[in-house]
Chain A
Amino acid sequence: GESVGLHLPTLSVQEGDNSIINCAYSNSASDYFIWYKQESGKGPQFIIDIRSNMDKRQGQRVTVLLNKTVKHLSLQIAATQPGDSAVYFCAETPWGSSNTGKLIFGQGTTLQVKP
């Protein structure tokens, strides 16, 4: 079945270092991916998205990389700050759902930033 999963449940990094959060997806027909950040007790917040016709997309301090060959997605955060501490979810639009906007979420990675 369709699934989006993350390799590591928790990632601990030193403030100022770069963070890399990984995500594997199983549906090769998925054509759209999103990264969300969720702080404790709050709803997810949109970070960045990427379509399957792209390999890389950059935002402010964040970069998303998509490797369709191995069905792998990653989120890179440059110069990680304490405010980046949160749970990060990748999400994909499953095949046939582009008209509904339905998303399937991965398990999430907790990012802990050490001062």
Chain B
Amino acid sequence: GAVVSQHPSRVICKSGTSVKIECRSLDFQATTMFWYRQFPKQSLMLMATSNEGSKATYEQGVEKDKFLINHASLTLSTLTVTSAHPEDSSFYICSANGQRAKNIQYFGAGTRLSVL
């Protein structure tokens, strides 16, 4: 149980284009979903917290117009990197917590974004 699927696993795009990453909780309804960014050999940096049907809460320093988050249902959240630039290249990871164990986050496999 508590499986989180993230798609795509890897994406390469041209500078200036937008990229959408999907995060799905497969066997549970996610109370909250989280989006992280991770640079090589560094820790996870929380970008935003999203709840179904409401606007995402962004961490300080994260541009909400740059990283659009939509949480349309209890099992799906999407992150869109708009007008991507090479500095946006990173490993993006989503997580979700369920209703029973709210503090345990279950993670997707991550998306490696490379912007050329």
Contacts and interface: CB of A to CB of B under 8 A. Distances in A.
B38 to A, nearest CB: 9
A107 B43 CA distance: 5
A43 B6 contact: yes
Given A89-B44, A105-B44, A106-B43, A43 B102 contact: no
B88 to A, nearest CB: 19
Nearest to A4: B43
A106 B93 CA distance: 16
Given A41-B110, A105-B44, A108-B43, A46 B32 contact: no
A102 B109 CA distance: 19
Contacts of B46: 102-105
A102 B49 contact: yes
Interface residues of B, number: 23
B70 interface: no
Given A93-B103, A102-B49, A105-B43, A43 B109 contact: yes
A49 B104 CA distance: 8
Contacts of B32: 100-101
A97 to B, nearest CB: 9
A67 interface: no
Contact of B107 (A43, A100, A108): A43
Chain A binding surface, main DSSP class: loop
Given A43-B109, A102-B34, A89 B43 contact: yes
A73 to B, nearest CB: 15
A52 to B, nearest CB: 12
B104 A43 contact: no
B108 A34 contact: no
A101 B107 CA distance: 13
Nearest to A6: B43
Interface of B: 4, 6, 31-32, 34, 42-44, 46, 49, 93, 95, 97, 102-110, 112
Given A34-B105, A102-B49, 11 more contacts: A36-B107, A43-B95, A44-B44, A44-B107, A46-B105, A99-B102, A101-B103, A101-B105, A103-B105, A105-B46, A106-B43
